[in-house]
Structure 1
Amino acid sequence: MRRSMIFCLVTTLAVAGCGVGEQPAATPASGGKVELSFLVFETPNLNAAFWDAAIARASAKVPGVTIKKLVTPNVDRTGYAKQLDASGHLPDILQSVNPAGFAEAGKLAAFTDDELKNFIAPKAGAVGGKVYQLPYNTQVIPVVYYNKDDFAKAGITETPKTYKDLLDVSAKLKAKGITPFVVGGGGADTWADMYPLTATVATDVYAKTPDWLTQRRDGKVKFTDPDFTKAAQKVADLAKQGYIDPAGLSRSYADTEQAFRDGKGAMYPMGSWFATSADNTKPNFEIGAFPWPSDDGTPVTPTFTGGGTSVSASAPNVELAKKWALAFDEDKENNDAFVKLDGSIPAIKGYTPPADMGPVYQATVAIYQQGMTDNSIVNAFSQETGDGSLPPGLADKSALGVQDLITGKKSAAEFASYLDDQWAKATQ
């Protein structure tokens, strides 16, 4: 999940009568003496039945709690949480809401080291050294999913190992009348256009300077510096060479995913959550997966770890809310469901995914595991949380800017300057 990720938010699910400052319809999920509200989001993968079952499992482990389920009515769950907070209705427990801003304002309760002992990356997303969102899930962002039939038609026998190889593959595909990359981001799903840039920032910026965003916050680097501008130029060039079709930007996330399934392009750079969807839908071609390559072939694996539950510092019983949040994120059946439905890679010590997961999921996990072995893990640009993250709202601005980068309305230099301007506005 994220996305910011925003992850895997596919459709806007309206909640009747839910205006700004109003609570969505609430669904009691368990009996008890303390009522805690829990803000979740629904997608085609993670529907109401999934959340109800997961809530019930956690509640069974924490007697004395009644959970009131609240559903985000739009794709921007963090923005919606801010609206609720502004009206004095911040939920007691929040799922996959970016803690930036909330934590600094004292709105969230920090988890202790002992409470984080079962997590593989216990300090992921830390704000001022404290963790306010359970780092329960890892995602590789992006993985390049590809149509093996299209590769065969273009005479491509190996996946690219260097960026030049990726360009060569793209040229061969285009020569056969096959669009190399499927990229979308229409309507409310502008976030879905970010992943080519997330990949090039990983290989050209973060591989060299892992704490680049922290340095940007400290004023030591800028988006207009050569490394970031080079990463943006690669995306602009992919579009200019016809390897990314700008017309695809009008597609929603769901339509973009379907376009790849329908054979409208050979490569689909997307977060690892696509893996389960790919295995479950099974188009009429075999899907493979490879990591976005760097210039010299040195492995770089952009990931996000976090996305779990947060607890409001003003919950009626903070300790009980934290206990429930931990029960929700550490429950084996809950994590199995997240894996099967949403392609999660749970970052829980000792957790093993179900043995019957499909080949695309297994290939995706293999990329992550290789990244761990190679020590090539870096952050995924625009997905970060904690101290080394974009200011609130800037990820959305970045996605809008990427559209201009792909359509040619902004040069790489203009795009970089735009991000510096937006950073200044966001941090005034």
Structure 2
Amino acid sequence: MRRFLALGAAALLAVSACSVGAGTGSGDAEITFLTFETPNLTPAYWDAAIARVTGKTPGIKVKKLVAPTADGRTSYAKQLLQSGQFPDVMIAVDSAGFAEAGHLYAWTPEELKDFQFPAANPVRGKYYQLPANTQTIPPIYYNKKMFADAGITTPPKTWAELVTDAGKLTDKGYPPFTIGGGKDGFPSSMILSGLVSTEVYTTMPDWLTRRRQDQVKFTDPAFQHAFAKLADLAAKGYVDKTSVSRDYAATEQAFLDGKGAMYPMGNWFAANADAKKHDFEVGVFNFPTEDGKLAVPAYTGGGMIVNAHATHLDAARKFALAFQLDKDQLDASVRADGLFPAIKGYTPPPDAGPVFKAGYDLYAEAVRQNAVVHAFRWETADDGLLPGMKDKVDQAAQDVITGRRSVAEACAFLDTEWAKAG
């Protein structure tokens, strides 16, 4: 099986790589850069980004690689490692596993000095991933016209209000939630991520650290209580069970086409909400909490990791830092993917869209109130799930939504898979 994966990765690599950048001389250092594509981060975006950065860092030529799915980039990086083709630079690939095995370069304090949260995502006391962006995961985007038609004048702040509003939308003939899954997985677990973050993490912010120490389990009452709220939405028909087979791009488009009133998704959706055509105004509100007290799930990270054994290590490090710190590139990432750059002194471009600005203001207020919590499922390194468990969380969410498993069975499944992963 391992040999099959390696051969498959080699074949895929051969057809997905292309050289991009400003390298012009035979002495240029060529590095490989693993990217991924989404409705926001298109091939054109990556080509322009690479050209923009290499244009300011002469002597470097970049060969772009593309992961087969947006959420499968970490598993793809593992396949490339197994086949002897580990990329020189990777973006938004979880450092866990790679770092402990000695495959990644550890960033120095000097290299991290321009980042707002240099101590994010530690692996055994060292830092292997540039903490480049903060993402709120998930706020809830909503169709303002549908809300108004259903008589909802104010976005919900409590979970009870959210459930009531979902009933009002249903009575009006509007599907309350737009969700998906398919090959991407994570759209199925967005509501679960919000529930665990705002309920479990607000009382036990180090829950995952304790899970790694076997002090808590998924079958514990607190986790099951949060998970049960997703099951309740599905039981009431507020979450469409058939939608879990719909991939990420189709899920986003379904919301923009007016096929659902609410879309729980990371703040990156704001870029397309501002850019893509739709015939309604998009609003955004924080994921509701049990008591209405502000708690905003967020993750800071998602940046570059560098192959410690890269042939041109200095060039790889230089490219990675330039990519993450260049103001023009940061502005481009805001426009394309709605990211919140976690760089000291950074301010978004004045032409950022209204949905982005609304989400950014919600996050800024949470920071002011010290109300930011970890975003369950999206953490990485020592603060995150064990390798491979993100897919299991997605599967558990899908199983509960479709009724294949009860909440108790899904939580027991997660504990069993955790034991295997450990």
Once the two structures are TM-superposed, the CA of residue 92 in structure 1 deviates from its matched residue by 0.9
Indicate how the Cα distance of structure 1 residues 127 and 153 shifts in structure 2: closer, same or farther if over 3 A, else same: same
Q: Does the alignment pair 1:124 with 2:120? A: yes
Q: Does the alignment pair 1:179 with 2:175? A: yes
Matched AA of 1:363: A
Distance in 2 between the 1:275 and 1:171 partners?
Answer: 26
Once the two structures are TM-superposed, the CA of residue 351 in structure 1 deviates from its matched residue by 1.1
Q: Secondary structure at the match of 1:173?
A: helix
Q: Does the alignment pair 1:163 with 2:155? A: no
Distance in 1 between the 2:68 and 2:385 partners?
Answer: 24
Q: Does the alignment pair 1:36 with 2:36? A: no
The worse-fitting range, judged by mean Cα deviation, of 302-311 and 249-258 is: 249-258
Distance in 2 between the 1:170 and 1:30 partners?
Answer: 52
Q: Secondary structure at the match of 1:156?
A: coil
Indicate how the Cα distance of structure 1 residues 223 and 323 shifts in structure 2: closer, same or farther if over 3 A, else same: same
Higher helix share goes to which structure? 2
Distance in 1 between the 2:16 and 2:328 partners?
Answer: 27
Number of the residue aligned with 2:3: none
Q: Does the alignment pair 1:283 with 2:278? A: yes
Normalised to the residue count of structure 2, the TM-score between the two structures is 0.94
Normalised to the residue count of structure 1, the TM-score between the two structures is 0.92
Determine if contact 1:21/1:87 at 8 Å carries over to the other structure: no
Q: Does the alignment pair 1:301 with 2:296? A: yes
Q: Does the alignment pair 1:220 with 2:215? A: yes
Determine if contact 1:315/1:321 at 8 Å carries over to the other structure: yes
Number of the residue aligned with 2:185: 190
From 79, 96, 106, the equivalent of 2:92 is 96
From 330, 338, 341, the equivalent of 1:335 is 330
Distance in 2 between the 1:345 and 1:21 partners?
Answer: 31
Distance in 1 between the 2:263 and 2:49 partners?
Answer: 31
**Superimposed CA distance per residue, residues 330-359 of structure 1 (whole angstroms, 9 cap, x where no aligned partner):** 111111111111111111111111111121
Once the two structures are TM-superposed, the CA of residue 28 in structure 1 deviates from its matched residue by 4.5
Distance in 1 between the 2:207 and 2:225 partners?
Answer: 15
Number of the residue aligned with 1:71: 66
Matched AA of 1:171: G
Determine if contact 1:203/1:294 at 8 Å carries over to the other structure: yes
Number of the residue aligned with 1:3: none
Determine if contact 1:42/1:72 at 8 Å carries over to the other structure: yes
Determine if contact 1:18/1:24 at 8 Å carries over to the other structure: no
Distance in 2 between the 1:52 and 1:177 partners?
Answer: 43
Q: Secondary structure at the match of 2:84?
A: coil
Structure 2: 5+ residue stretches without partners: 1-7
Q: Secondary structure at the match of 1:207?
A: helix
Give percent identity, aligned residues only.
52
Once the two structures are TM-superposed, the CA of residue 70 in structure 1 deviates from its matched residue by 1.9
Q: Where does 1:388-427 land on structure 2 (aligned, <5 Å)?
A: 388-427=383-422
RMSD of aligned alpha carbons: 1.7
From 47, 52, 58, the equivalent of 1:52 is 47
- Count of paired positions: 411
Determine if contact 2:33/2:62 at 8 Å carries over to the other structure: yes
Number of the residue aligned with 2:141: 145
Once the two structures are TM-superposed, the CA of residue 18 in structure 1 deviates from its matched residue by 5.2
Determine if contact 2:19/2:61 at 8 Å carries over to the other structure: no
Structure 1: 5+ residue stretches without partners: 1-15
Distance in 2 between the 1:231 and 1:17 partners?
Answer: 38
Number of the residue aligned with 2:312: 317
Matched AA of 1:29: G
Once the two structures are TM-superposed, the CA of residue 73 in structure 1 deviates from its matched residue by 3.1
Q: Secondary structure at the match of 1:83?
A: helix
Distance in 1 between the 2:156 and 2:56 partners?
Answer: 47
Once the two structures are TM-superposed, the CA of residue 250 in structure 1 deviates from its matched residue by 2.3
Q: Secondary structure at the match of 2:30?
A: strand
Determine if contact 2:142/2:261 at 8 Å carries over to the other structure: yes
Once the two structures are TM-superposed, the CA of residue 389 in structure 1 deviates from its matched residue by 0.7
Distance in 2 between the 1:39 and 1:204 partners?
Answer: 35
Determine if contact 1:20/1:83 at 8 Å carries over to the other structure: no
